[in-house]
Amino acid sequence: MTTKYTTEHEWINIEDHDAAVVGITHHAQEALGDVVFVDLPEVGKTFAKGEVSGVVESVKAAADLYMPVSGEVVEVNEDLRNDPSLANTDPLGNGWFFKVRITNMAEFDELMDGPAYDALLKSEK
């Protein structure tokens, strides 16, 4: 299992060869506050890296969710749609947003690993 991070505070985790799981980080959910709504992408839709693939709304603000890699959405988390608070209570687990079939693995390889993401967080303080 390999997890990578974006500068926009999304995480992507390759669990198997079919699809990677995408969500928001602890930092993102803390910055947003209580998540009250998520707009998830359509299954079958293809996105380029960096494109807006969804929206997260909280009591404080709304934030775009950016596609960390180019690929096709193969599944969305209906549990999250029904209970957006999962993005706060379990952002790295049951609060995942969608699964994507990656079309360019080089883009995944370019993302930050855990130590690089931790350094980014320290630099933003």
Number of independent structural domains in the chain: 1
Q: Is 50 left (phi over 0), alpha (psi -120 to 50) or beta?
A: left
pLDDT of 78: 97
Question: Residue 111: what pLDDT?
Answer: 97
pLDDT of residue 18: 76
Can you give the pLDDT at residue 15? 77
Which pTM was predicted?
A: 0.94
Q: What is the CATH number of the domain that holds 69?
A: 2.40.50.100
Which candidate, 71, 58, 78, 65, places its Cα nearest to that of 25?
65
Which residue range forms the structural domain that includes residue 25? Answer: 2-105+112-124
Distance between start and end Cα atoms, the chain: 29
What was the pLDDT predicted at 75? 96
Q: What is the mean pLDDT of each run of 10 residues along the chain (125 residues)?
A: 93 86 96 96 97 95 96 97 96 96 95 96 88
